[in-house]
Amino acid sequence: MDINFSQRTRRHSPAPDVRSISTSMKYQQNLGILGIGNLLLSDEGFGVHCIHYLEANYTFPRSVQLLDGGTGGIMLTSFLEEHARVIVIDTISMAGEPGAIRHISTREMRGADVGSRLSPHQLGLLETLELCSLRGAAPAMLDFFTINPLNLSSGVELSPLLFSKLPEISAMVLNEIARLGHPPVLKKNSAALCMNSPWLKICSPNSLNSPISTKHVKSSG
């Protein structure tokens, strides 16, 4: 799957709005964390659940913006254009066991054999990225943190396996955020906050483990 859309050309592409591009580039300096997925298909909603897990347990600097992107597609244009670097959290069925986690860079994603494995919302994200590129305002860097799903049947709860993976993939994302110079802060009594989160009670009926501590994450207490 090639996401270097700037190399693709179209004969009848509309002229980009110069004012819009200049405005987008002016604010394209922060880090965006985007969770996408279909909440009605169990593990398909993992990226969205992960965003809410992070929000329940950590405080982020103003330079970091988290977004529950759902299956937004074209509605994600503004978010993508406002950030020079974006981290995407999502499920993709790739080789390996259910629950396998991968950190895939933009360069690696170009060569990854995942084109036929993408769901409609993922194809929508790629089309949106192409639009951003045509406007000259696509993120300079994209990182994908993906996980293999176990259950894609109808339902709003994650499978117990993927629910248990929320702290692990969150720790990987947090370390990457800190490495890029935006260290988050672990909230006081974060485990209790997480357990009391209405969102995560919907996410799964099972108890959630305490957040995994990471070497780059600061503590508020």
Q: What percent of the chain has pLDDT over 70?
A: 64
Write the pLDDT tens digit of every residue in 151-173: 999 999 999 999 999 999 999 99
Instruction: Report pLDDT for 129.
Output: 81
* Partner residues linked to 67 by β-bridges: 34
pTM: 0.74
Domains and CATH numbers, the chain: 17-219 (3.40.50.1450)
User: What DSSP character marks residue 5?
Assistant: G
What pLDDT band is residue 205 in, cutting at 50, 70 and 90?
very low
Instruction: Report pLDDT for 127.
Output: 78
| Cβ-proximal residues to 39 (8 Å cutoff; 6+ apart), any chain | 45, 48, 49, 70, 156
Residue type, 64: V
Q: Give the Cα separation of 219 and 210 in Å (integer).
A: 14
Instruction: Report pLDDT for 125.
Output: 75
